[in-house]
């Protein structure tokens, strides 16, 4: 139920804001609005105010604003309050208002989320220096070593770890060219990326140059008895360096009842601690919760707004770049998500709290706004493209030509919907089990 309610909330807000943009700009330009609908299909709620029917329809995957004289085939009286009676500039403003409202919503919501503050991994904005490699990983197979600094992936600069994770993440199961610095040398290697998680995020098995930090100690546990404290950094277990919290968990899992030696950095002083894991929940545990090093992030309202603008610009650029990678085959269409995946993410975010839910809403709103601007007939960007072409040709296209363009856009959009729905279904284990070609 949480998943359904969260999904309807997120989708409802995004659709409402998008259609509100079209509605407000249409009214501002003096166009008569006949219908403002959230959803498609049969109406389950309808209220009429003036010339406009405000309704909620049964299929929640979209919405529309119907304007008087909107299409050439619509009955027209030549009145000045009809859409096609307006100039191309006025029609352009009405068309672009929907995507613009989604982008504006993303900017505002992001600023609100940022103002709440959070903890972020300390290495996110640090240089992409390799601190460890997963055994048998693509990076290890390609000869990448600890201490190497990755400079670029497939031509995309990776000055920070956040940039590296993103550049690899959008390229699962691909041969990618990686440029790295090793001492004074600059080397080029080719790595076949792997994929992880149900969304097939690209990975090469590299880890940042960090060590796990103890964030809590269980009272009465072996860790407490050994003198371990919150804030201690675990450098190694039995002489083997630990990088991620999972390394520490794995190092103790099969050592129940066997003394182990931890190398600890405590208040700037390195020391050695002996501790014996206890058997709990079927594995060895010493009674600590490890985490990656984090930093507190609490911007002022002005800083939050400035950062929101920067992130919106960066996010928009990334969306266009990802579309380009999809068209070139560099990115995998398996990463595209449809309504089922969005519903799953909405439910997971809602369970974590309103801040993660609103952060997700911001990301989806930006994607919705930008993708609606793509020059694909049927989308707002497609209608804007037709307007632009008519302006260049200095004449309006015939109904037949427009119908062909819109049909081409509909076919493309239909193929995209099939792709994302197929992706969604393959992420549901019991449905994937019914697909023999996936096993």
pLDDT score for 77: 66
The per-residue pLDDT for 432 is: 66
User: Per the confidence metrics, is the pTM higher than 0.85?
Assistant: no
Q: What is the pLDDT of residue 149?
A: 96
Q: Which residues are CB-contacts of 394 (< 8 A; sequence separation ≥ 6)?
A: none
Tokens 């659709």 map to which residue? Answer: 15
**Which residues of the chain are under the pLDDT cut of 70?**
72-77, 430-439
User: Burial level of 77, CB count in 10 A (0-12/13-18/19+)?
Assistant: exposed
- Give the integer Cα–Cα distance in Å for 374 and 69: 24
What is the structure's pLDDT at 439? 58
Reported as a single tens digit per residue, the pLDDT across 311-320 is: 899 889 888 8
| Residue 321: predicted pLDDT | 83
Active site residue 19: yes
Looking at residue 415, its pLDDT comes to: 84
Could you give all domains of the chain from N- to C-terminal order, each with its CATH number?
213-291 (2.30.42.10)
Residue holding tokens 């070139």?
328
Q: Of the listed 19, 70, 82, 200, which one is catalytic?
A: 19
Query: In 10 A of CB 45, how many CB atoms?
Result: 11
Interatomic CA distance for residues 410 and 378, integer angstroms: 6
Give pLDDT tens digits for 324-355: 877 777 777 777 777 777 888 888 888 888 88
């Amino acid at each position: 139920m949480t998943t359904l309610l969260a999904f309807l909330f997120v989708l409802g807000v995004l659709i409402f804001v998008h259609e509100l943009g079209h509605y407000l700009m249409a009214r501002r330009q003096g166009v008569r609005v006949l219908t403002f609908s959230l959803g498609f299909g049969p109406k389950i709620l309808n209220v009429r105010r003036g010339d406009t029917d405000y309704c909620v329809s049964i299929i929640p995957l979209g919405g529309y604003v119907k304007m008087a004289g909107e299409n050439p085939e619509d009955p027209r009286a030549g009145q000045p309050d009809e859409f096609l009676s307006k100039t191309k500039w006025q029609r352009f403003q009405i068309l672009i208002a929907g995507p613009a409202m989604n982008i504006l919503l993303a900017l505002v919501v992001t600023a609100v989320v940022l103002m709440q503050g959070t903890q972020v991994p300390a290495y996110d904005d640090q240089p992409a220096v390799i601190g460890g490699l997963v055994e048998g990983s693509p990076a290890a197979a390609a000869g990448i070593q600890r201490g190497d600094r990755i400079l670029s992936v497939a031509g995309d600069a990776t000055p920070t770890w956040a940039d590296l994770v993103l550049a690899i993440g959008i390229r699962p199961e691909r041969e990618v060219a990686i440029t790295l610095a090793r001492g004074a040398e600059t080397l080029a290697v080719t790595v076949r990326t792997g994929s992880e998680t149900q969304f097939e995020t690209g990975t090469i098995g590299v880890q940042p140059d960090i060590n796990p930090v103890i964030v809590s100690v269980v009272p009465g546990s072996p860790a407490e008895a050994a003198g371990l404290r919150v804030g201690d950094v675990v450098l190694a277990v039995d002489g083997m360096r630990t990088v991620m919290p999972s390394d520490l968990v794995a190092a103790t899992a099969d050592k129940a009842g066997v003394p182990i030696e931890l190398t600890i950095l405590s208040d700037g002083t390195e020391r050695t601690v002996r501790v014996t894991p206890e058997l709990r929940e079927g594995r060895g545990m010493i009674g600590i919760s490890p985490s990656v090093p984090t930093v507190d992030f609490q911007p002022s309202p002005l800083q939050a707004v400035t950062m929101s603008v920067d992130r919106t610009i960066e996010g928009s650029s990334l969306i266009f770049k990802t579309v380009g990678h999809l068209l070139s085959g560099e990115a995998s269409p398996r990463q595209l998500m449809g309504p089922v995946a969005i519903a799953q993410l909405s439910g997971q975010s809602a369970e974590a709290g309103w801040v993660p839910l609103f952060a997700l809403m911001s990301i989806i709103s930006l994607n919705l706004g930008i993708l609606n601007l793509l020059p694909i007939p049927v989308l707002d960007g497609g209608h804007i493209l037709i307007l632009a072409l008519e302006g260049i040709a200095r004449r309006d296209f015939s109904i037949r030509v427009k119908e062909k363009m819109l049909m081409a856009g509909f076919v493309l959009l239909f193929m995209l919907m099939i792709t994302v729905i197929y992706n969604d279904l393959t992420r549901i284990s019991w449905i994937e089990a019914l697909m023999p070609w996936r096993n």
